[in-house]
Amino acid sequence: MRPSAAGLPIAGFALLAAVTLFWGVNWPTMKIVLGELSPWWFRTICLASGGAALLVISGLSGNRVRVPASDLKPLLLCSVFNMVGWHLFSALGLALVAAGRASIIAFTMPVWAALFAIPVLRERVSLAVLAGLGMGMAGLAILIGHDMTVLGSAPVGSLLMLGAAVSWGLGTVLFKRFDWQTPVASVVGWQLLLAAIPVVVGALMLEPLPDLAGLSAPAFFAFAYVLVFPMVFCQWAYFKIVNMFPAVYAAIGVLAVPVVGVFSSLLLLGEPVGWREIAALVLVCSSIFTVLILPKLRS
């Protein structure tokens, strides 16, 4: 049976809107922090702080924090792709590719999620979903099209970002595949903490200890934003959406994140916005409207 957006819960749409906004603004704020803090230590602090905060919040909310034996193998498997692969590849890629363009490559994730969902979840993709996915990817292609020379001059960085997208797409589908006995907040918290282990090992091996006291006020407040919203709220909300929506719909829903990132970069960093960004915004919004909003209005 093909999934339909008409029966999807309103709460899921509200969470999707919040995730799109907070993750979109995350890219320029992250760029501010990375101007003063190395990517490895930035990722280490984000993963460890975000994971610990989610587990504390989950416990205080009355949820089970202890993971039952049936969830251990799925937890380790999903951690590899959702967190380790995504954060490690993107951290390395960001060092070689401009942050804005790196976000665009990373958010080809819906394509990989849609492809993986067919054999793993046996989801049937409707023509409307394919059309929406095509429009969304066309919007991202417009954004990255004139920078294709980057793929030639810095293929390693671009391939690392693409690896992050593939890893995240597969992780999204795997998360949907398993019947979790542990609450979402606890599952995501443990995934973040497990991912912090290999990242902190890399940080200790490759870079000196960070001087957090030396961060400027803009970097400090940007870092606080990243930890509270993208790393805690958005990590929980995204996987909550994955539980509520078909995997393909959840993936398509975040297509607007890099577009929000481009326009928030204009406001926060003064980065230019031209016809490509505007065209991409129209295509991505049309994609989301076709797949998620239009069926809801028809119902």
The percent of residues above 90 in pLDDT, for the chain, comes to: 35
How far apart CA 50 and CA 67 sit, in angstroms, is: 18
Query: Average of pLDDT values for 124-142?
Result: 79
pLDDT class for 224, splitting at 50, 70, 90? very high
| Cβ-based neighbours of 171, under 8 Å, separated by 6 or more | 78, 80, 81, 82, 83, 85, 86
The pLDDT of residue 98 is above 70:
no
pLDDT of residue 141: 78
At residue 2, does pLDDT exceed 50? Answer: no
Q: Quickly state the pLDDT bin for 58 (edges 50, 70, 90).
A: very high
Cβ contacts of 276 within 8 Å, gap of 6 or more: 142, 143, 145, 146
Distances (CA, A) of 255 to 88, 138, 198, 285: 21, 11, 29, 9
Whether the predicted pLDDT of 151 surpasses 60: no
Residue 129 tokens read as: 């979903």
Reported pTM: 0.80
Size of the chain, expressed as the number of residues it contains: 299
Residues 6+ apart with CB under 8 A from 1: 124
pLDDT tier at 147, thresholds 50, 70, 90 = low
Average the pLDDT over each of 146-160, 200-214, 253-267, 281-295 and give the range with the smallest value.
146-160
Average pLDDT over residues 244-250: 74
Give the span between the Cα atoms of 73 and 63, in whole angstroms: 20
* Distance from C-alpha of 123 to C-alpha of 252, rounded to nearest angstrom: 14
Q: Which amino acid is at 126?
A: S
C-alpha–C-alpha distance, residues 188 and 168, integer Å: 14
d(CA 231, CA 229): 6
CA-to-CA dists, residue 137 to 87, 202, 208, 230, angstroms: 22, 33, 39, 23
Out of 40-54, 73-87, 138-152, 157-171, least confident range: 138-152
Tell me which range, 171-185, 231-245, 246-260, is most confidently predicted by mean pLDDT.
171-185
